Amino acid sequence: MDNLDFLLIEGYMNIPSKIQRIKAFKKAVTYNFNHIPYISSTMGYNEDGTRVTAPNTEKLVINYVDQLIYLDKVVDVLKFKYKHFKIVLDEFCLGDSILQGRPKNFDLLTNKKLLNAIADIEEATSWRYKLEPELASNISDDPISNVQNALEFLL
């Protein structure tokens, strides 16, 4: 198992904090939108002598709404992933105790099971949210079976 595998497992373990950061960012986006000055003066000039104009309100509103929709979708996807990740943890009888540890401290079998489950969750997420699906691949330690699986995938 390489560091990318450990980072992937840690990423799933840290989904709740990611959701909190996104919600905080959404509040910041709303705050910034509500504090944009929408009026300008006919006498207003910048330091370089150019005239100050009011921002295009329509573009600002469209960008603001698009950002909110995007952030809501990201939170929905993360909640979906974490809900299924928790189910996997419960199936392995790992529960919340695993969330206190680090994947490098787990045994190899547990990490492999988690990686296979994460691959399935990623595939389910891509199908549910109509994202580009990345089909899960079951990689084993046997190189011949890996080649056969790859050939079956291509055919």
| DSSP characters over the chain | --HHHHHHHHHHHTHHHHHHHHHHHHHHHHHHHHTS-----TT-B-TTSPBP----HHHHHHHHHHHHHHHHHHHHHHHHHHHHHHHHHHHTT-TTHHHHS-GGGS-HHHHHHHHHHHHHHHHHHHHHTT----------S-HHHHHHHHHHHH-
Residue predicted with more confidence, 55 or 142: 55
Residue 2: pLDDT over 80: no
Residue 46: pLDDT over 90: no
